[in-house]
Structures are given as structure tokens and as C-alpha cells.
């Protein structure tokens, strides 16, 4: 066999070995990296660089069933995705946090150092017994007030109250701080990133299908439309 043919065969062999080695390394790297983590329930539009902070809009129909504790999904054609979250009214009284009564928890993405106002699209139910069917209590992980003091945290007796009117039906209800003793209802966060929202039923028979944390558009006034588009 001539020298030129030997060199040609050797070159092809090395090329095949190099390609095979690259494939093996790629496969090993993919296996070592493991499976990707499950996506967090997030409803925040990604901000553009230098742009304003995003509105946080959550639909009840966005949430998985394991986000609910002693609450249920209820079909309602007026709600986005056709579902609201609520509980039956037996006429009993519910206790505020830190009592662990029926609640829903989910994660959103927030920005530090800016004020947010909370709104809930509430369905006021028919009152019965000791239940007015029109109250939801709200708490957040990582939340602070303007002075950077911890407020409205889960596991504490600090919370916001969304209390609807006595008129049955749908309405946007703001989150008020009067019952908690905090000086204002605006919410700040210590760090940018994920925060957990906890919505706890304050009265049996109440329902809700949308939750908003607004840093701009609804900072001073509620939405005018029954369904806020994302």
C-alpha cells in the first residue's frame, strides 16, 4: 500500500474518531445536566430593558389544583378560562391569618423598590349565618413597607383585606391595610424575582377569578373591565 493511501485512510479514521468522541461528550453532558425544573406559574410579561415594571395578572384558571387548600375550582362562564376559585357557604365564621383557613398560594415575579397595589376580582356570594361571603385576606413572601419593614408576611397576623360590598355579584375590590394596623396598603418587595402570594378566604361563600399586583396602570384606580387582558 502506498504512503499516500495510508495517510488518506489514517486521516479518515481520525476524523471518524473525533466525530464519535464529540458525540459521546455531547451525550454525556446532556445526561449529566439532568431534567429541567418544572416551570413556575408566572403571569408576568417580561420587561424590556429600561422599561416600566410589568403588571402582575393572575387568572384562577392559571393555577394547578395543588395550589388550593380547602378551596375548589368552580365553573363560571363569566370568568377567564371559565373558572373561579371559591368555597361553599355553610354560614360559619373563618379566622384571619395566621390561622390556616382555606387558601390558595402561587408564585409571581416582582421588582424590588417600587410600590404595588393589590386588586381582586371578587364574586360576592349570598350571606348566610355568620358569613358575609365577601372577604379575602392577602399575604406575600418578601413583602415590606416603604420603610423596608416586613409586613403582610405568611405565618403572621399582618395581612391585607379585600372586602367587597354586600351586593351579590362581581366587582373589583382593593386590598386594604386598615385591619392590619399598617399605615398604607401599598406593597413593596425586598428583592426582585419570585414572590409567593397567599390568598385566604375571609368568609365562606366568597369567590374570585383574577388577582392583580399593579405598579402603574391600576396603582390608583381599579380596572374598569371585568376581565383584564394579559
Helices (H), the chain: 3-33
Summary mean pLDDT of the chain? 84
DSSP 8-state code for residue 176:
B
Q: What is the pLDDT of residues 1-50, one digit of tens each?
A: 443 434 343 344 333 333 334 333 232 233 333 333 333 554 544 444 45
Residue spans of the domains in the chain: they are 1-36, 56-214
Higher pLDDT, 190 or 45: 190
Query: Would you tell me how many other CB atoms lie within 10 Å of the CB of residue 103?
Result: 21
CA dihedral 177, 46, 44, 75 (to 10 degrees): 160
C-alpha grid cell for residue 125? 356570594
- Dihedral sign, Cα of residue 208, residue 214, residue 219, residue 225: negative
pLDDT tens by residue, 197-226: 999 999 999 999 999 999 999 999 999 999
CATH number of 56-214: 2.60.120.260
User: pLDDT band for position 51 (50/70/90)?
Assistant: low
For residue 215, give the nearest of 110, 80, 140, 122 by alpha carbon. Answer: 110
Amino acid at each position: 500500500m502506498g504512503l499516500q493511501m495510508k495517510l488518506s485512510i489514517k486521516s479518515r479514521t481520525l476524523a471518524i474518531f473525533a466525530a464519535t468522541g464529540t458525540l459521546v461528550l455531547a451525550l454525556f453532558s446532556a445526561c449529566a445536566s439532568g431534567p429541567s425544573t418544572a416551570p413556575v406559574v408566572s403571569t408576568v410579561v417580561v420587561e424590556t430593558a429600561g422599561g416600566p415594571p410589568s403588571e402582575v395578572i393572575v387568572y384562577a384558571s392559571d393555577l394547578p389544583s395543588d395550589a388550593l387548600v380547602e378551596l375548589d375550582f368552580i365553573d363560571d362562564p363569566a370568568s377567564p378560562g371559565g373558572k373561579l376559585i371559591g368555597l361553599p357557604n355553610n354560614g360559619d365564621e373563618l379566622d384571619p391569618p395566621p390561622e390556616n383557613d382555606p387558601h390558595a398560594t402561587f408564585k409571581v415575579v416582582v421588582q424590588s423598590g417600587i410600590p404595588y397595589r393589590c386588586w381582586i376580582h371578587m364574586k360576592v356570594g349570598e350571606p348566610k349565618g355568620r358569613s358575609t361571603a365577601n372577604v379575602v385576606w392577602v399575604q406575600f413572601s418578601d413583602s415590606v413597607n416603604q420603610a423596608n419593614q416586613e409586613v403582610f408576611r405568611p405565618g403572621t397576623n399582618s395581612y391585607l383585606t379585600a372586602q367587597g360590598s354586600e351586593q351579590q355579584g362581581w366587582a373589583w375590590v382593593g386590598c386594604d391595610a386598615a385591619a392590619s394596623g399598617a399605615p398604607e396598603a401599598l406593597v413593596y418587595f425586598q428583592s426582585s424575582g419570585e414572590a409567593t402570594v397567599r390568598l385566604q378566604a375571609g368568609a365562606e361563600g366568597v369567590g374570585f377569578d383574577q388577582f392583580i399586583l399593579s405598579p402603574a396602570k391600576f396603582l390608583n384606580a381599579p380596572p374598569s373591565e371585568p376581565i383584564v387582558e394579559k
